[in-house]
Structures are given as structure tokens and as C-alpha cells.
Structure 1
């Protein structure tokens, strides 16, 4: 495996945050995500807070044993019982076959940052992946993108229900999912690794009762030997630990919303767009009724659905928070607060969009006399297979050029230097000249014996067909010289920057493991990366 780094300019806000731009970092409590001195500051800050460590470790042990985690993960969970222990947290919605590559990169980032912090601070620091199992947007998670017919094709799995229940509650029949799985691997193509990979994935699928369990088991398979702890935010067993914080969110609901609104307006005044939509009287909490998640809004009676077809008083909602915390779930504003209440978060590993929405949460945290954790931009990668690297070398272009500019410009330059020889006009001219000259033979045949006209006509057609045959051969050579290389530019673009966006947001890790084998994942997770804001180009 070979690594190169480059500076990508995909998100001005992320770039400003990474570079310490005063107009950006003022929205965060820790201004220098790559400065290890910030770790010490955060470590001291966390000593002010208490966490439900016993209940947390009991839950995490049970859940991670359920998904087949290793002894290393269980050992890390037990470390959380120590008052000085800390966590590096990353998270994402559950996705089929682990979702897009960026999910894998979040796991790798979380694992590596935890190791670096533990070495630096000399206290236990464990990596935790927070599965957003509460989310109910199935269209975001029910598919895998595969390369097909020179484009990125979505292979979707139909949801069993249209009800807006959390992903953790989306149960499925694994036998019904299996045809979808076979279609996906068929799209990847048959390699020396396919058979074993499919068999192992089918085994895991068969033991999974939902998309979240399937996702969690796959993360455990790939990362539990590195000690990654997996947490499902939609698990009712975890929600039992959340009652006291839910009560705080209900009692201080208006203050949370106002703090969020004020910070969002400040961000917009600075010239950045609002990362989260402002909705009047949004309670930033969901309540589940009849397995459907209902986003709550404040009103004169307490709380209600947007359509007012569900209402509940504040006192009733507080009682529900105490007796039935499993009925509640957080939205994008309150989820970080709940995470902060449950876990001793040294740093949260965030993608560009997440860093933008954390920027509007500072005053929300302030309502609870807390500081936001250190926001560490996750590692960002582009994987380059041997085949794609060979294509790049044949065109004398680099991955950096493709990521910055695409391939169209280089495609046009290549075409201008390798413009094809025109065959059609020449062939048509030869056929016309020959037909004209052949008229002399036809007249001669008619003078000798009119019965020869049929023979002469048949002979002309045969000769013209031979010229057509030659034309086809010429065209084949032209296509091979020009059209195939042009198609190779398109293949480079498809693999490295599909639909014009970064590979990590589209392709799935199983596409690459199917081609290169399972040891690819070991190489990716164990390479000693630097957290420096630069994009990693990995030749595999």
C-alpha cells in the first residue's frame, strides 16, 4: 500500500476550521483540532462531569457480545469503568454492507485517534462508533451504489414498511434480503475472493434481524480486533440510561431552541449557510407512537405534532421520559447533547457536514454549562486500484489532477493529439470511382452477350461488399485507437470521482475487498496516518 497526500478544496467551512480561521473557529470551544494540547484541556474539562459508567458498560458489554465483538472490544468497554477513561466517538446511520466508504473511514479515524490520544495522555481512551439507529429515513440507507454501464447505479432494498419508525425497529427476513445481496456482488464481478466473501456475508446476514444489527455485525467483523466499541442509539436498553437528560431537554426545551436559533443566525451573518433548518417551536425531540416517530413542537398546551393530530402536555411528557424513555429519540440538535451526557467524549470525529452543524450547537451546550468536545475532521481517502493506476499512467495524468479537474479537459487534449483518420469519405469515393469505371465492363459484357449482365451485376455487388468489409476493418482499428482510450478516461472518472463527487461518498468497501481481498481492510486500519486535514490517496 502506498500513500500520497493532497489539499482538497471541497468545503470552505471545513478548510477554515482546519486552518484556524478566526471567523470559523469562534463557533467552537476548542479552536485547534490538530493541536494535542487541546486534548489536555478537554481531559481537564471532563473531570467536571459525571457519567453513568456502570450502566453504560453493562449495556455496551451485552450489545457488543450480541454482535460478536472480540475480547479486545470487551476489554475496552471495561476500561470505561475507570473515572479517568475517555472516548473518541464517531457515528453514522446504519447502511447496507456498511454504507459508503466514508463510514469505514470514520471507523478508522476513531480507532487511530483513540490510540494516539491514549499514548499522549497516558489514560485509557477507547474508540466508540455511535450508530444512529433512531433515524427513520430509509431511502438514505437502503441501497448500495455499484458501477454499471459507465455510471453509478443504485441497488435498493425495499423497506418492509412505510411507517416512519427508527432503523433499529426495521426488522427483516434475511431470506428476502439474500437476492439483493447476490445482485450487489454480481455487479462487483467474480474474483478469486468473491465466493468466500459472499459466504461469510450471507452467514452474518442470516444472524441479523434488522439493518442495524447487520450493520453492527459487519463493523464488528472488520474492526473489533482493533477494539472498536459499537453502540446503537435506537436500542431500548440504552435509552434506559437517558431519562434524566430527557427531562432536562423537556424542561429547558425553549432555551435549547432559542440558543440554536441565535447561533444559526450568527453563522449566517458570517456568510455561511444554515446547516440545519430552523423551524418555529421545534422541540428537537421525537416521540414514538404506534411505532411511528413524531417530531414534537412546542405549543400553548405543551407539545404536539406538526399537524396537531398528536398532543401531549409537558407534565405528561416528563412522566413518559421517566417511565418510557425508549419512546424518545433525538434529532440533529439534541443528539450531541445526549452523547455528551452518556460518554466522556474527548473528541468527536466528524465529516464536513457534521462540523458545519456542530458550529450552531455551542450555545445549546452552554445551556447545560458544558463545552462541546474537540471536533476532529475524519480522515478522507481515495482508493486507487492497480487497474485504475495503470489507466492513469497510460494517459499520463495523476489522481490529484482527476480529483481537482475531472477528466474532460484531459480527454479533449488527448483527442486533439490523436484525432482519428476519417474513413467514410475515402471509402465512399473509392466505391463511386470503382462503380463508374465498372460501367465499362457492364457495357462490354452486354455487347458480347446480354446474358452476362446478371453475372456482371453480381460481381459488382461482391466487389462492393469486399470494400465494405475493408471499411469495417478500418473502423475497428480507428475505434480501438481512439474510442477505447476515450472510454478509459470515463472509467478513471467513474472509479475516482463518480458523478463528480468524491469516491468515498459513493462506492462501498465491499467493491474493493471483492477485488483485493480482506487483507485490504487490515492495511487500511493499521497504516499510521496523520490527522492534518489533507486528503489521502491510497494505492491498493
Structure 2
């Protein structure tokens, strides 16, 4: 079976909101700035260039150089950092949590999308520079979401107590995870490479931020990726005016609530707080609440008057952390960014933010759905061929796939649609007669119709079951293959860690993905190794 792809909309794994966004439905067009097609980036960069402060560039470059001091930095990444000083340089950004050992596969796909789009833009607009950026979500506090990864169906979890921003967490305890993981990896040069990468990232760095930076740089540094930790006092100083606006006027909440009205037909991703900021220290990350003319830090005894709170902001901006509503704004204030690349859930909450960005006069970026990929082996592809399966079949819900295959195996039609249509026609004639008599006869006819149709449906189900038993071995091979490709009936990219494929494919894995993935195509890629 050839390497192939299907549209996101046809894959069955994206929400109605994302499908409508990809289809550029008119009801959503007021919620974003420009749709992600190559031609739209020229207007986007001119708009961003006009309102992005050169002083912000200087601070950004200074912070990045400081953060990269202890790393071996590729020539291309160094060039990209230096280029950020220039007004003709822009970023293409993706963000991700600090998942243990990258977490699920889509960590790779996000970053590859950013790198490949930067290359594509450079080809289209050679007078400008485009820098791929990985924004590390160092200020998150949802440790249970990031403290594990899956390898060959087994979960490897980092058991540790956590409070405060996850990026500041000590890496203590990860030697035990490596010990257990190493046993499962087995032997071979690729397995040894994975073990060494884990060891150097987590056992030779003191906190999760430094470990993740090392890991991402090891995987993608040669491609010019720039990795940013925005949990930084100098960067937070640039954001002070916007934090002050949030504390005093709660603009984000008002504007986002207006937008959510337009998204009522969809499931709204994020509901804003009155104040969308946290107060953070090494072991603390709690909401800021305004009540009775006083600012409180939730679940603590910390409180401020308005004057004290503004003084705290001026003196310690690093203690103010944006939540999911304010974080995108922070990103766009400190980066000369053109495009944010994320998954469907992320883009859903970005669509809530356009009016907020307009209110505070910050350019809203182009938002792009990251690449999605299904990785398959040659053996799996050949198995699919033998079973007469195509990729669309394998993306189907398992019950639908099984039922369709039973029908194709059967020597006779299992679908009783023709019989049901004939029956309904007969009852239409009876209903016409009944309508000329009393209501009780009409009711009896309708009841009999329902009974007869139900009887046919039951016969159809029994016949389907009988054929399922008859072809059970072939159906089992089909479901086994689908379960391999879609673990726990979910997308592979949301479950499986990259190490599972690295053990087999080694250094060829990332270059192959780089070659195959085209970020602006809006296609769900299937790649056979």
C-alpha cells in the first residue's frame, strides 16, 4: 500500500470547530486575522514589523544567549538567534508542555511544522528571515499531565510530588525511570542512543526546564530551532503594561466572553477568569483574585492593596504568570511572531482571543494546525494490502470497519434497505386508507409498521452476527492491525513516544519526517518506514 494522506476533515479525528476553521467557514472568519496560506504571510509580516519594538528584540536576544550558555549550539541556531536583532526577522512558534522524554509523538510534529514552515517562507520571501521557535511551557503546573510517556504499550511514570511551575522542578528520581525504561528498550545501537539521550537530559541537568531544553536541542538543534523559556524576569518586564491592564481592568475576561457567544454551537475550550494571572514562586502557582478592593493569592495568606500589587508588579514581574488566556498575548508581545502552530485544542482557544488582542493593540498571529502523522511499518502496509484495506478504511471507527468488511465478505447482501423501503411503501398505502377511517385504526397501522421495520432490523443484526462468526479469523486480523496503528482506539501521535520508532529507525526518523511533512497542506500524513 503506497504512502498516502487524507484530509483532516475526512480523518474523523477533528472537532466540528476545527473542520469549519479548515473549511474557512464564514461564521469563524472574524475570529482570526489571516488564514494560513503562503500568500497571506507578506501582509502579516508587514503588520508585525510595524508594531514590534526593536527594544524587545534586544531583550529577547540577550535572554536567549544567556539561556543557551551551557549548551552546544549549532551554527544555524546561533545564526537564528543573532538574526532576531534585525527588523526583517520573524518567528514561527509552537509551544508544548515539558512532557517527560517529549511525551507523545506530536511533540515532534509540532516542531517539525515550525521548522519546515520557516524554510518554506524563506524560499517565498528571501528578503526576510524566519526563525522556528519552541516555546517551553515552563510555568505550567499540571504535573500529572506531563510526568509519563508510553513505550510499546507500557507507561513509564515519574512519581514525584509537585507544586509550583513545573520547569523549576528538580529532576531527582528520574534515574529510577531510566533504569526501568532501559530494560524495555533492549539491546542495539539505537537503544543505546536513546538511553544516553535520556541520561544526559535528565540525570545531568538539575531541573525540568534545563533537561527539556537539552533534549529538544539534541533532537532539533541542527535544524536551527530556537528554544525559549519565558519564565524570565527581563522578558516579564516587557509584559508589565499588559499585566497592569489585566489587574486593573480585566480586559481579557470581558473580550473573551464576548467571543464565546459566537462559539456557542461549538464546545468552548476555555472560560476566562476575572483575572487571568497566577502568582508564582518556586513551589507556588495560584490564581490572583480581586475581591473587596483587595488582591488575594488563592489558597494562601498573601494579599495586596492595589498600590501594593502594582508595586509588586514593578519590582517582581517574574512573579506574575499568564494563564491559558493571557499566555498567547505574552508570547506575541515578546516575540516578533507571525504564526502559532498548535493542535486542534490549542487553536480552539486561540479563536477565542482575537477581540482581546485587538483591544490591547497587539497583532493577532496566523494560527496553523500542526502536522498530523500516522507512522506504519512496511510489514503493516503489506498486511493491509493482503486484507484489502486502504488508509481510509483504517481511519474508520472499528465497528464501522468491521461491519463494512463483513458485508464485503458475505456472498449475499446483508443490507435490508431495499426490503425496508418496500415495507414503508406498503404502509404508506395502508396509512392512506387508515386516514379515511377512525384514529384507532390509523394508530394500529403505525404500530404495525414500527413492529415490522424493527423485525427487519433485528434480522439484519442476526445475519451480521452470523457472518461475523463465519469470518472471525480475517476480522481479527483486521482489528489487530487497526489496534496496532491506533493504540487504545486513539491516534498514535497522542499515545506513543518517539523512542518506539527511533529504536527501529534510528537517525533516519527525524530526517524522514522533515522530508515528508508539509505544514500548509492540511493533510493527515501516512508515512511508511
- TM-score bracket, normalised by the shorter chain, equals 0.7 to 0.9
Residue 49 in 1 paired to residue 52 in 2? yes
Deviation string 1:358-409 (CA, Å, 9 cap, x unpaired) is 1111121122122311111111111112232233233221232111233773
Query: Contact 1:8–1:404 at 8 Å: present in 2 too?
Result: no
Distance apart, 1:416 and its partner CA: 10
CA distance in 2, matches of 1:166, 1:337: 19
What residue number does 1:451 align with?
Answer: none
What residue number does 1:167 align with?
Answer: 166
Distance apart, 1:247 and its partner CA: 3.0
Query: Contact 1:64–1:229 at 8 Å: present in 2 too?
Result: no
CA distance in 2, matches of 1:238, 1:171: 23
Query: Contact 1:145–1:508 at 8 Å: present in 2 too?
Result: yes
In structure 2, do the counterparts of structure 1 residues 310 and 222 end up closer, same or farther at CA, with 3 Å as the change threshold?
same
Distance apart, 1:104 and its partner CA: 0.6
Larger-Rg structure: 1
Distance apart, 1:306 and its partner CA: 4.5
What residue number does 2:270 align with?
Answer: 276
In structure 2, do the counterparts of structure 1 residues 238 and 388 end up closer, same or farther at CA, with 3 Å as the change threshold?
farther
Q: Provide TM-score, normalisation by structure 1.
A: 0.80
Query: Contact 1:407–1:493 at 8 Å: present in 2 too?
Result: no
CA distance in 1, matches of 2:198, 2:131: 27
Distance apart, 1:486 and its partner CA: 5.8
Match of 1:212 among 204, 209, 212: 209
CA distance in 2, matches of 1:178, 1:489: 40
CA distance in 2, matches of 1:191, 1:69: 28
Residue 5 in 1 paired to residue 5 in 2? yes
Q: Provide TM-score, normalisation by structure 2.
A: 0.81
CA distance in 1, matches of 2:403, 2:178: 36
SS in 1 for 2:277: strand
In structure 2, do the counterparts of structure 1 residues 68 and 300 end up closer, same or farther at CA, with 3 Å as the change threshold?
farther
What residue number does 2:36 align with?
Answer: 33
Match of 1:395 among 362, 365, 387: 387
CA distance in 1, matches of 2:409, 2:262: 53
CA distance in 2, matches of 1:515, 1:193: 7
502-511 or 398-407, larger mean C-alpha shift: 398-407
Deviation string 1:126-182 (CA, Å, 9 cap, x unpaired) is 11110110000000000002333xxxx4321112x242x101111122xx3123124
40-49 or 88-97, larger mean C-alpha shift: 40-49
Q: CA RMSD in A?
A: 2.7
Residue 105 in 1 paired to residue 102 in 2? no
CA distance in 2, matches of 1:156, 1:25: 42
Distance apart, 1:251 and its partner CA: 3.5
369-378 or 65-74, larger mean C-alpha shift: 65-74
In structure 2, do the counterparts of structure 1 residues 369 and 199 end up closer, same or farther at CA, with 3 Å as the change threshold?
closer
Distance apart, 1:511 and its partner CA: 0.9
Residue 384 in 1 paired to residue 381 in 2? no
CA distance in 2, matches of 1:384, 1:301: 59
Deviation string 1:41-92 (CA, Å, 9 cap, x unpaired) is 1112111231511111011122134343312111101000001211111101
Distance apart, 1:322 and its partner CA: 1.5
What residue number does 1:349 align with?
Answer: 341
What residue number does 1:513 align with?
Answer: 502
CA distance in 2, matches of 1:289, 1:189: 41
In structure 2, do the counterparts of structure 1 residues 124 and 495 end up closer, same or farther at CA, with 3 Å as the change threshold?
same
What residue number does 1:147 align with?
Answer: 152
Residue 261 in 1 paired to residue 241 in 2? no
CA distance in 2, matches of 1:319, 1:530: 44
Deviation string 1:304-356 (CA, Å, 9 cap, x unpaired) is 24557442222222212221122111101100111111011111112111111
SS in 2 for 1:333: coil
CA distance in 1, matches of 2:478, 2:2: 23
Deviation string 1:266-308 (CA, Å, 9 cap, x unpaired) is 221xx112110244xx210000256210111222323224557
Query: Contact 1:166–1:234 at 8 Å: present in 2 too?
Result: no
Distance apart, 1:203 and its partner CA: 2.6
Taking the TM superposition and a 5 Å limit, the aligned residue runs for 1:160-309 are 161-163=161-163, 165-173=164-172, 176-188=173-185, 190-191=187-188, 193-236=190-233, 238-252=235-249, 254-268=250-264, 271-279=265-273, 282-289=274-281, 291-306=283-298, 309=301
Query: Contact 2:94–2:110 at 8 Å: present in 1 too?
Result: yes
In structure 2, do the counterparts of structure 1 residues 277 and 65 end up closer, same or farther at CA, with 3 Å as the change threshold?
same
What residue number does 1:132 align with?
Answer: 137
SS in 2 for 1:20: coil
522-531 or 209-218, larger mean C-alpha shift: 522-531
What residue number does 1:82 align with?
Answer: 86
Query: Contact 1:348–1:375 at 8 Å: present in 2 too?
Result: yes
What residue number does 1:156 align with?
Answer: 157
Deviation string 1:191-213 (CA, Å, 9 cap, x unpaired) is 55212331343233322222232
In structure 2, do the counterparts of structure 1 residues 17 and 100 end up closer, same or farther at CA, with 3 Å as the change threshold?
same
Query: Contact 2:135–2:229 at 8 Å: present in 1 too?
Result: yes
Match of 1:123 among 128, 146, 150: 128
Aligned residue pairs, count:
464
List alignment gaps of at least 5 residues for structure 1: 419-480
